[in-house]
Amino acid sequence: MPKHIFVTGGVVSSLGKGLTASSLGRLLKMRGLRVTMQKLDPYINVDPGTMNPYEHGEVFVTDDGGETDLDLGHYERFIDESLTRSSNATTGSIYQAVLAAERKGDYLGKTVQVIPHITDEIKRRIERVSTDDVDVVITEVGGTVGDIEILPFLEAIRQFKKDAGRDNVCYIHVTLVPFIGPAGEQKTKPTQHSVTELRSRGIQPDVIVCRSEQPLSADLKRKISNLCDVDDNAVVNAADARNIYELPLILHDEGLDTVALDVLRLETPDIDLAEWQSLVDTVEAATRPVRIGLIGKYIQLPDAYLSVVESLKHAGFHHGARVEIDWIQAEEVEGLLAQGRLTDIDGLVIPGGFGSRGFEGKIAAAGHARENKIPCLGLCLGLHAMTVEFARHVAGLEGANSTEFETTSRHPVIDLMNDQREITDLGGTMRLGAYYAVLTPGTKVHHTYGEPVVSERHRHRYEFNPAYRSRLEEAGLVCSGVSPDRRLVEFIELADHPYWVATQAHPEFKSRPDRAHPLFRDLVGAALERRASLEKESLSVRQ
Q: Which candidate in 228, 376, 380, 479 is catalytic?
A: 380
Contact criterion met (CB below 8 Å) for 379 and 308: yes
Q: Which candidate in 314, 446, 460, 506 is catalytic?
A: 506
3-state secondary structure at position 57: coil
Is 252 a residue of the active site? no
Is 508 a residue of the active site? yes
Gap between the Cα atoms of 328 and 312, Å rounded: 15
Angle ∠(70,76,81) on CA atoms, nearest 5: 150
Is 380 a residue of the active site? yes
Cite the beta strand spans of 165-264 per DSSP E: 169-176, 179-180, 185-186, 207-212, 235-239
| Four-point Cα dihedral 57, 62, 68, 70, nearest 10 | -40
Gap between the Cα atoms of 249 and 156, Å rounded: 32
Contact criterion met (CB below 8 Å) for 143 and 149: yes
Q: What are φ and ψ of residue 505, in 5° steps?
A: -90, -175
Concatenate the DSSP letters of all residues of 352-415 into one string.
Answer: ---SSTTHHHHHHHHHHHHHTT--EEEETHHHHHHHHHHHHHTS--TTEEETTT-TT-SEEEEE
CA nearest to 383, candidates 410, 413, 405? 413
- What sign does the dihedral 155-72-24-208 (CA atoms) show? negative
Q: Which candidate in 58, 155, 463, 508 is catalytic?
A: 508
Q: How do beta strands 88-90 and 60-61 pair?
A: unpaired
Helix axes 306-319, 518-542, angle to 10 degrees: 60
Gap between the Cα atoms of 328 and 345, Å rounded: 11
Q: Which residues are catalytic?
A: 380, 506, 508
